[in-house]
Amino acid sequence: MKVLVIGNGGREHALAWKLLQSPQVEQVFVAPGNGGTAVMERCQNLPLSVDNFDGIKEAVWERGIDLVAIGPELPLAMGIVDYLEQNGIAVFGPSQTGAQIEASKSWAKGIMREAKIPTATAAVFTDDEFDAAVAYVRKQGAPIVVKADGLAAGKGVTVAKTEEEAIAAIKESFNGKFGIAGECVVIEEFLTGEEVSVLALIDGETVLPLLPAQDHKAVGEGDTGPNTGGMGAYAPAPLVTPELMEQILQKVFQPVITLFRSWKIDYRGVLYAGLMILPSNEIKVLEFNCRFGDPETQVILPLLETPLADLMLACVQRRLASLPPLRWQPGVAASVVVAAGGYPGSYRKGDAIAGIERAEALGAIVFHAGTKLQDGLVLTDGGRVLNITTTAPTFDEAFARAYAAVDCIQFPDCFCRRDIGYRVRSAF
């Protein structure tokens, strides 16, 4: 079997790496891929951007690819699954309609209201309703959360401590900071608690949850500073007990899928729920994503023993219900992001990275995120550069080994958060 993974981040490197462990997979292609997928055995990068649907279709036909797995949200929101399926190609991922659950926060709020899924109280305003949006902020008071409706690469959410900050965020959004993604905003009640990411495989009907994970979105230690795509992660999240997972399935996932079915939305792929667990143990949905999480995937997949290709095919062919239970390696996984100085603001690209082999020799899995291979050298090519990942019996061991491997990595101005996993490490 030949599989094509679409995307170029750490998530896609992890997907390609795990797919290659499936006995039936002989080769994986990644479009466009990164420096890590470029050098992996039985893996080949294809120089195609994620929105080049025609090019992707041609590559599938030319190379006899059996399955396409979509990593990022952008091509999903643009309808890549509908396009490839119309051309007779098997694709893992939801249709353009289903992908709206991530691509439009107001649409997702509508789904949650309709399906009675617990979430923060919110109101939606379009850019001709600025005064009404301000009045709503004044009435609700701060702290309050302002979210651009559309895709904004993880940067569209402002957790405003004051009413003025919220109003400034609305103004910026309406003034075009996020392009059309910000022409509409969702203004939402501020929630406190602990965040977890629960990802589930969906075949249109059956929901099969993966291990729960936690990531660290803020760039700074102690969860301070601006939000990023994620600075590190671990799994399984101990906060999600089997009882809580059952509640999450009953109160969040099942209602979405039941509603989708009644609306004739054929959702196949991953549904990711970003959840706030309140101190009372109540569950509230912060967001849905229509894809694997990044960096959550980098800690979930190393623990997965069931062949990933089997799971993806079962989703595509609507037969998740007939699979035996998922098999997981005992123990835990941890991942620390090594980033380029300046991220999530502007940062340099093109610096040579040293120490990857030494990190691997310590037993770490080095998933590449923002890297590229040029003239035989691995160079930085993004803000989040590497995901240094380990598995171990305990979180203390997993993080000790991950940070030992992180310390091998060198490039100018590289940095990481030293406190990833502080909730589960005994040293904190």
Binding mask 260-289 for ligand AMP (x = CB under 6 A): --------------x-----------xx--
Residue 120 binds which entry of ligand AMP, ligand GLY, none, CB below 5-8 Å type-dependent: ligand AMP
Beta bridge partners of 271: 200
Q: Which among 29-37, 110-118, 185-193, 419-427 is the span making contact with ligand AMP, rule CB under 6 A?
A: 185-193
Q: Please, which residues bridge with residue 335 across strands?
A: 233, 389
Strands 377-380 and 371-374: antiparallel
Q: C-alpha distances in angstroms, 95 versus 263, 292, 344?
A: 13, 15, 30
Q: Which of 229, 355 has the CB closer to ligand GLY?
A: 229
C-alpha 236/C-alpha 333 separation (Å) is 7
Write out the binding residues for ligand AMP, residues 283-342 only, by CB under 6 A: 286-287
Residue of 12, 85, 294, 381 interacting with ligand GLY (CB under 6 A): 294
The least CB distance from residue 376 to ligand GLY, in Å, is: 31
Give the residue with the Cβ less far from ligand GLY, 136 or 267: 267
Asked if residue 12 binds ligand GLY (CB under 6 A), the reply is no
Number of residues located near ligand GLY, criterion CB under 6 A? 6
x/- map, 221-240, ligand AMP, by CB under 6 A:
------x-------------
Closest residue to ligand GLY using C-beta atoms: 293
Omega before 295 within 30 of 0, i.e. cis: yes
Q: How far is the CB of 217 from ligand GLY (least distance, A)?
A: 7
How far is residue 400's CA from residue 409's CA, in Å, rounded to a whole number? 15
> Does 296 contact ligand GLY by CB under 6 A?
yes
Instruction: Give 11 or 147: the residue with its C-beta nearer to ligand AMP.
Output: 147
> Cβ closer to ligand GLY: 37 or 227?
227
Asked whether position 151 contacts ligand AMP by CB under 6 A, the answer is no
Q: Report residue 335 as tokens.
A: 């991942």
Identify which range of 276-284, 288-296, 310-318, 345-353 contacts ligand GLY by CB under 6 A: 288-296
CA angle 255, 6, 362 (to 5 degrees): 100
HEC letters along the chain: CEEEEEECCHHHHHHHHHHCCCCCCCEEEEEECCHHHHHCCCEEECCCCCCCHHHHHHHHHHHCCCEEEECCHHHHHCCHHHHHHHCCCCEECCCHHHHHHHHCHHHHHHHHHHCCCCECCEEEEECCCHHHHHHHHHHHCCCEEEEECCCCCCCCEEEECCHHHHHHHHHHHHCCCCHHHHCEEEEEECCCCEEEEEEEEEECCCEEECCCEEECCEEECCCEEEECCCCEEEECCCCCCHHHHHHHHHHHHHHHHHHHHHCCCCCEEEEEEEEEECCCCCEEEEEEECCCCCCHHHHHHHHECCCHHHHHHHHHCCCHHHCCCCCECCCEEEEEEEEECCCCCCCCCCCECECHHHHHHCCCEEEECCEEEECCEEEECCCEEEEEEEEECCHHHHHHHHHHHHCCCECCCEECCCCCCCCCCCCC
First to last CA, the chain: 46
Residue 165 binds ligand AMP (CB under 6 A): no
- Which C-beta is closer to ligand AMP: that of 59 or that of 120? 120
Site for ligand GLY in 177-236 (CB under 6 A): 215, 230
For residue 157, the partner it binds in ligand AMP, ligand GLY, none, with Cβ less than 5 to 8 A by kind, is ligand AMP
Among positions 147, 368, 384, 417, the unique one binding ligand AMP when judged by CB under 6 A:
147
The one among 8, 95, 119, 289 contacting ligand GLY by CB under 6 A:
289
Q: How far is the CB of 262 from ligand GLY (least distance, A)?
A: 27
Quick one: what does residue 294 bind among ligand GLY, ligand AMP, none, with the CB cut-off 5 to 8 Å set by partner type?
ligand GLY
| Residue position matching structure tokens 């709503």 | 136
Nearer to ligand GLY, 45 or 289 (CB): 289
Mark 233-272 with x for binding to ligand GLY (rule: CB under 6 A) and - for no binding. Answer: ----------------------------------------
Partner in contact with 296, chosen from ligand AMP, ligand GLY, none, beta carbon below 5 to 8 Å by kind: ligand GLY
Residues in contact with ligand AMP, counted by CB under 6 A, come to a total of 15
Pick from 78, 90, 134, 159 the residue near ligand AMP by CB under 6 A: 159
Q: Which residues bind ligand AMP (CB under 6 A)?
A: 120, 145, 147, 157, 159, 188-191, 195, 217, 227, 274, 286-287
Binding site for ligand GLY (CB under 6 A): 215, 230, 289, 293-294, 296
